[in-house]
Amino acid sequence: MTSLAYTVADSATMLRRNLKHQLRYPSLTLMLAGMPIVFLLLFVYIFGGQLGTGLGGHGAGGRGAYLTYVVPGILIITVASAALGTAISVATDMTGGIIDRFRTMAISRGAVLTGHVIGSLLQTLAVLVLVVGVSLALGFRSHASALEWLAAAGMLALFAFALIWLSAALGLAAKSVETASNTPMFLTLLPFLSSAFVATATMPAGLRQFAEYEPFTPVTQTIRGLLTGGPTGTQAIVAIAWSIGIALASYLWAVRLYNRRRATTPN
Amino acid sequence: MTINTSAPAISARAVRKSFGGHVALDGVDLTVGEGTIFALLGPNGAGKTTMVRILSTLIAADAGDIHVGGHDVARDPDSVRALIGVTGQFSAVDNYLTGEENLRLMADLRHLGRQAGRRRVAELLERFDLSGAARKPLSAYSGGMRRKLDLAMTLVGDPAVIFLDEPTTGLDPRSRRTMWQIIRELAGDGVTIFLTTQYLDEADQLADRVAVLDHGRIVAEGTPAELKRRIPGGHIQLQFAEPNALRAAAAMIPNATPDNDQLILQIPGDGSVASLRRLLNELDDTSIDVEHLSIHSPDLDDVFFAVTGHATTEPATGQEEKVLQP
């Protein structure tokens, strides 16, 4: 086998390992899926009636209109909350003994992290399917074509990929599993400071500027445009640029942390 | 990825490693011959684990020249990794998988292929008496079973050199004996074994050569017998039937220590044939009746004390072990 073939084989082995973990202990996956579904119900049935009337341009207003508005935001918060799992599983691995075993074996560099990241990505996509299913059950309807659905899925996957690498790096940077489960929490806060739940135009100055320029807004607007109609053009480009930028920076940070880790500790 | 047979399995020259201001290894030299068992003996904090981590490519030394299987650890770590197996002090198993899945994971990472991997896994489960628990999650495993699985995982790739960092720490006496037996069998198959231990009797039982590590330096090295011979503490013990004989013998032999209650006389000496013959001749000439004679070699506890000037830092554990392993 060539070294590329080894890299692929080792990464696939690590991916199988991570998927087995997810299947055997589904509580983490269920927790990651539970949060956005609770938010969806909360925002549609508690806040939705009132928030919907403020939408104006989005049809007749009311709960139904707000459901249409908020689902893209819920999909974004799904991606953000699912990424939290990566930090936890990476940190669990790094603080356990098995990582030392991997390091003393001739395993392709990066296979351990690749296994985690792809495993988390598949987990996120599964959770997204579940959340879309719940949204449809609640009455969410989209006029998007198959191609637009595909584009939306691609955008979500790309953004998820970026946040998962970021979360993996945070998991590597954490000294304990407890820390790793806390540090990426800001990722679930950022969607609230974006156009995910309310239009940024309704926010006070300062906050509005922040909301308009942070990455969650262009990603949300892109998904919203694709699924419920509306402009996507420049938002999509900004969203893709943010995703690639976050993914690249986080990847480099994660690999650096992975290679440096433990080189300076006695035990 | 082959062993250079002309070279020793492990050679290390002037290895140094510091963590911040703390010097963990301060110029360690050691050589381990192929197919032998080498024990690095020392109390907690002596630098044993650091040495294993350096030899097994986990961390880099600050200075020194280290070869494992003929490959330079710093320049060609992947060639070293292909040859070695490591069982660390803390269990290196995947708690979310079953025993069999853990072994399969190793087989996959060693690229054994489906057929050969399956065969090897079944073989190891059988050998380590884990077949019954193969499909059980690790939460159902006892400490001894986990340690056996840990070692089995190390053996999946048929490593030529195995590092065992305190392989029996925390095991009950029966599991400990099982582990010793496995280690001896591996050495019998020609595998080179580098183990660390803080149990003096373990080094004595298993190792062909022992190095004593204290505060990052090797303070003594040799076969267990050589080490024991090198230091004072050995004595010849004479048992007498009646007090007169004891008194007469004590008067005749210089430096002897009588024990009047037990009618025992202790005579310092290394137990060499010449000194023994001289003693027996003198006893014969004076017609003193000796009921029983025994020679006591110092054990590694004495060795450790003699070469470091202090006892091992964990006297309680050490003594307990001696009781458990008479």
Residue A266 located in a structural domain: no
pLDDT digits (tens, 9 = 90+) for B47-69: 999 999 999 999 999 999 999 99
Q: What is the pLDDT of residue A230?
A: 75
* Residue B312 pLDDT greater than 60, yes or no: no
**B78 close to A (CB below 8 A):** yes
Nearest residue of B to residue A98, measured between CA atoms: B92
Residue A47 located in a structural domain: yes
HEC sequence for chain B: CCCCCCCCCEEEEEEEEEECCEEEEEEEEEEECCCCEEEEECCCCCCHHHHHHHHCCCCCCCEEEEEECCEECCCCHHHHHHHEEEECCCCCCCCCCEHHHHHHHHHHHCCCCHHHHHHHHHHHHHHCCCHHHCCCEHHHCCHHHHHHHHHHHHHCCCCCEEEEECCCCCCCHHHHHHHHHHHHHHHHCCCEEEEEECCHHHHHHHCCEEEEEECCEEEEEECHHHHHHHCCCCEEEEECCCHHHHHHHHHHCCCCEEECCCCEEEEECCCCHHHHHHHHHHHHHCCCCCCEEEEECCCHHHHHHHHHCCCCCCHHHHHHHHHHCC
Residues 6+ apart with CB under 8 A from B320: none
Hey, what domains does chain B have and what are their CATH numbers? Answer: 10-229 (3.40.50.300), 235-296 (3.30.70)
**B54 close to A (CB below 8 A):** no
* Residue A50 pLDDT greater than 90, yes or no: no
Residue A33 located in a structural domain: yes
Torsion sign across C-alpha atoms A64, A65, A68, A69? negative
Q: What is the pLDDT of residue B319?
A: 33
Nearest residue of B to residue A26, measured between CA atoms: B96
**A24 close to B (CB below 8 A):** yes
Q: What is the pLDDT of residue B7?
A: 67
Nearest residue of B to residue A104, measured between CA atoms: B81
Segments forming the whole domain that contains residue A116? 3-260
Distance (Å, whole) CA A236 – CA A225? 9
- Inspect the interface and report whether the beta carbons of B92 and A101 lie closer than 8 Å: yes
Residue A265 located in a structural domain: no
HSE value, Cβ hemisphere, 13 Å, CA-based, for A20: 16
Q: What is the pLDDT of residue B204?
A: 87
- Inspect the interface and report whether the beta carbons of A100 and B109 lie closer than 8 Å: no
Distance (Å, whole) CA A95 – CA B106? 19
Residue A267 located in a structural domain: no
Give the ipTM.
0.85
pLDDT digits (tens, 9 = 90+) for A147-179: 999 999 999 999 999 999 999 999 999 989 999
**B109 close to A (CB below 8 A):** yes
Q: What is the pLDDT of residue B317?
A: 36
Stretch B73-77: mean pLDDT, rounded? 92
Q: What is the pLDDT of residue B106?
A: 96
**A21 close to B (CB below 8 A):** yes
**A204 close to B (CB below 8 A):** no
- Inspect the interface and report whether the beta carbons of B96 and A25 lie closer than 8 Å: yes
- Inspect the interface and report whether the beta carbons of B86 and A21 lie closer than 8 Å: no
Interface test with A, best of B73, B86, B94 (most A CBs within 10 A): B94
pLDDT digits (tens, 9 = 90+) for B255-280: 788 888 889 988 877 667 888 888 88
Nearest residue of B to residue A5, measured between CA atoms: B111
Burial label for B11, CB within 10 Å (0-12, 13-18, 19+), is middle
**How many structural domains are present in chain A?**
1
Shortest Cα–Cα distance, B158 to chain A (Å): 12
Which chain A residues in 84-103 lie under 8 Å from chain B, judged by CB atoms? Answer: 96-98, 100-103
- Beta strand B192-197 with B161-165: parallel, antiparallel or unpaired? parallel
Find chain B residues with C-beta within 8 A of A6's C-beta: 111
Residue A158 located in a structural domain: yes
Per the CB < 8 A criterion, the answer to whether B102 and B128 are in contact is no
Q: Which two tokens stand for residue B219?
A: 């303070």
pLDDT digits (tens, 9 = 90+) for A92-107: 999 888 888 998 998 8
Residue A162 located in a structural domain: yes
